[in-house]
Each structure stands twice: as C-alpha cells, then as structure tokens.
Homo-oligomer: A and B are copies of this chain.
Amino acid sequence: MTGSALPSPAQAPDALPAVLAPVNDDLDVVGVRFAEMLGEAGEHSRDLVRHAARFNGKRLRPALTCLAARIAGGGVTDDVATVAAVVELIHTATLVHDDIIDGAEMRRKVATLHTRWGNHAAVLVGDVLFSKAYHAAAWLDDPFAARYLSEVIGEVLEGEIHQNQVSQDPDVSEDEYRRIVRGKTAALYEGALVVGAHYGGGDEKLQERLGAYGHHLGMAFQIVDDRLDLTGDEEIVGKSLGTDLSEGKMTLPVILWLRDRPPREQESAREWIERAWEQGDDAKQLARELRKSGALARADEAARSEIELALACLQSVPAGPEREMLETLAAFVVSRAS
C-alpha cells in the first residue's frame, strides 16, 4: 500500500496493538525511559503518578516519534526514546487535567484520578507529570524539544480553553470545531512526529512533511473519536461514552446536522440539542437522528478526507517499511470500531 490511495476499511487491521507490533521493541525502550521519569517522583506523589501512568494505553504517539526517527535515518537513540517518552508524558498529563474538566469517571477501564483522590490531587499530579516531561526535555543536549514542545503544549491548552469557552453553545461553526481539534489533539500528533524526525537527524523539510502527516492524522483521529462518543460501544472503547453531549460539547456530526436543517427547523433543532445536553434519552434519540440524516456519514467523510491529506504528505517521504506503517496507522484511524 503506497501513495495517497485511501485504504478500504476491510484492509485495515482492527486493533491498534497489531498495527504497532513491528515497533514493539522500540516502544519497550521508550517504556523504560517513561518509567524512569516517573520513578523520580517523590514519596508522596509516587502512587498517584503511577496510577496516572496506567492511562498510558495506546502508545500511539511514541510509536509515531520512533517511526519518524527511523525514517529520518537515525534510529531510536537514547535522545529519541527520551523525546518519545516526553510526548507520552505530556499526553498523560493533559488526560489527567482533562478528566477534571470532563467529570468523566472511567478512562481505559481505570477509575480516573479525580474520582479516586479528588480534584486536588488530580490537578497536582497532572502538574507533576508536566514537570517531569519538561525536566527530561531540558536535560537533552539539543534544546529543540524543550523549546518546541513547550510551544506545542501552549497550543494544546489554547484549544482546550477555546473548547471550554464554547461549551453549551450550539452555534459553534465547523471552522471553530476544526481549530479546537487542531489544538487539543492534532498539535501533539504533529509534535510527536516532528521531534522524532528532528532527533533522528532529519532535515527541516522532512520534519515538516512528517509533522503535516501527524496534523492530519490527529484531525482524523479526533473526528472519529467524537463520532465514537455518539455511537460507540463502551466495552470496546473502554471509556465513558455520550459525555460530549452531556457536557454541552458540539462535535462535527451535530454541527453538520444543525447547519443542514432548513431555516424553519433551525430553532427546534437547537432546542433538541440543548435538551440532549441535559437528558440522556434525548441524547440517544439525537444520535439516531444524526445517523438517519446522514450527518454521521458526512463526519466520517471529513475524517477520510483528513486521512487522504495525511497520506499525500507521505508521498515525498522516503519509502520503506516505516512509511508503510504510517500508512497502515492512517487506515486504522478511520476503521476503528464504530
């Protein structure tokens, strides 16, 4: 499978562990670095930090960093393993602070920190994870990761604050939704690839191409994630679903559905969305309406377009098994259980 041809779902593996199997050895090395960073936690934060590390589930971002480093020709050196672990640590920290925001009770079938120890501890443990990530980045000889990733974190936070500000607002546009997703998800996907390419010795052009692939992959990932929140199976996805609606979060299917209502239905459609934010039954009915109206399919199409753009970015990247894995990952993102 090469170039920009979009793989059909039938070609795509149905579970991430299988997709990542070829980089398992790299991920084990990264895992050791990750554990070392957390091991530096003090006696009072240690248990909390270890609990948070259990959220470290999919290992998708560190896999992207390792693949980018291999494509750049440098392989998974100590520095690459460190930046991969730093990216995963940043991701874990944002999850911990995100859960405070979402009030979600489950994450990867593990009780969230704030449910178990209270908001207080969760805020501080997220801060500890960020501090370990910054600390490890600051000790690299090449300051690129510390400088660049602190900027990426700023972009992630800006996206989350934006999302927070438009909560309970049915008039969020598709453009705003995309800017939010760019910040809260795609920026760190891009970052994972850029630091991998950089510490793997790749030039700026390669960093940029792989970064752009990461951006589009992240956009697709979040669009699919939001769609699974509406229609997924809690057992398979492993976290509480339907939380977007109950939190007043507008996601792409809802935005597209509302946009496409005829003028005379706009008012009642808005009211329906607002009721769904409050009541579980209305949320289920709305999800059925989203499917029937074709809004879910249009959101899926938007995710597939991002994947096409991601694959196009890979065309000027050196061919080989690592590039093929990035292509397979792209196919996986749009074929996840729905």
Chain A interfacial positions (CB closer than 8 Å to B): 40-42, 44-45, 48, 97, 100-101, 119-121, 123-128, 130-132, 134-135, 137-139, 143, 146-147, 150-151, 153-155, 157-158, 160-162, 164-165
Known: A44-B165, A138-B146, A138-B147. A127 touches B130 (CB 8 A): yes
Q: Assuming the A-B contacts A143-B138, A147-B138, A154-B135, are A161 and B128 also in contact, with contact meaning beta carbons closer than 8 angstroms in the complex?
A: yes
- A125–B155 alpha-carbon span in the complex (Å): 12
B158→A42 contact, CB < 8 A: yes
Q: What's the least CB distance linking A2 to chain B, in Å?
A: 38
Interface centre among A125, A155, A157 (most CB of B within 10 A): A157
Cβ-closest chain B residue relative to A163: B44
From B42, B120, B157, A127 is in contact (CB under 8 Å) with: B157
Q: How many copies of this chain does the complex contain?
A: 2
Interface of A is mostly: helix
In the complex, A127→B90 CA distance in Å?
11
Q: Is the CB of A127 within 8 A of B45?
A: no
Q: Which residues of B contact A157 (CB under 8 A)?
A: 45, 124, 127-128, 131
Bound: A44/B135 CA distance, A: 27
6 contacts between A and B (CB under 8 A): A48-B161, A97-B123, A124-B164, A128-B158, A135-B150, A135-B151
Q: CA A137 – CA B48 in complex, angstroms? A: 27
Contacting residues, chain B, for A127 (C-beta < 8 A) = 97, 126-127, 130, 153, 157
Contact of A120 among B100, B121, B158 (CB under 8 A): B100
Closest residue on chain B to residue A96 by CB atoms? B123
Please determine whether A123 and B100 come into contact, CB atoms closer than 8 angstroms. yes
